[in-house]
């Protein structure tokens, strides 16, 4: 299965929401997300991965603030505060939620 980023963004921009689910299977849910002016997210109850589609931003978590750009991968464990700050007008990202509520067990690489 393929999800086309341009079609996903077009379907998102056709409405008023800042996110749209574009794929779901088992515990995996994939969204396209494009905040407007301010990122109003609250912590989520599952682990989460972002892959930046376009633009750039700063990404704030409870213990760090990093710059991110198109192609970057970000991981957020379940229940951790996080948000995008100072993002460009063209900023958009894939969001992937997966695993059980509360997140998966931590494993080191």
Helices (H), 1-109: 5-13
Give me the residue spans of the domains in the chain.
5-98
Taking only the tens place, the pLDDT of each residue in 3-62 is: 999 999 999 888 888 999 999 999 999 999 999 999 999 999 999 999 999 999 999 998
Q: Report angle CA 67, 77, 32 to the nearest 5 degrees.
A: 65
Q: Which of 1-10, 88-97, 98-107 has the lowest mean pLDDT?
A: 98-107
- SS3 labels along 65-93: EEEEECCCEEEECCCCCEEEECCCCCCEE
Domain 5-98 has CATH 2.60.120.10: yes
- pLDDT band, very low/low/confident/very high, at 105 (cuts 50, 70, 90): confident
């Amino acid at each position: 299965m393929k999800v086309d980023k341009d079609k996903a963004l077009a379907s998102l921009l056709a409405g008023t929401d800042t996110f749209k689910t574009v794929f779901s299977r088992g515990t995996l849910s994939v969204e396209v997300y494009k905040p407007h002016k301010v990122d109003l997210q609250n912590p989520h109850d599952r682990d989460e991965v972002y892959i930046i589609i376009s633009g750039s931003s700063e990404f704030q978590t409870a213990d760090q603030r990093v710059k991110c750009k198109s192609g970057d991968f970000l991981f957020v464990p379940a229940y951790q505060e996080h948000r995008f700050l100072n993002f460009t007008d063209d900023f958009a990202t894939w969001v992937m939620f997966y695993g059980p509520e509360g997140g998966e067990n931590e494993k080191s690489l």
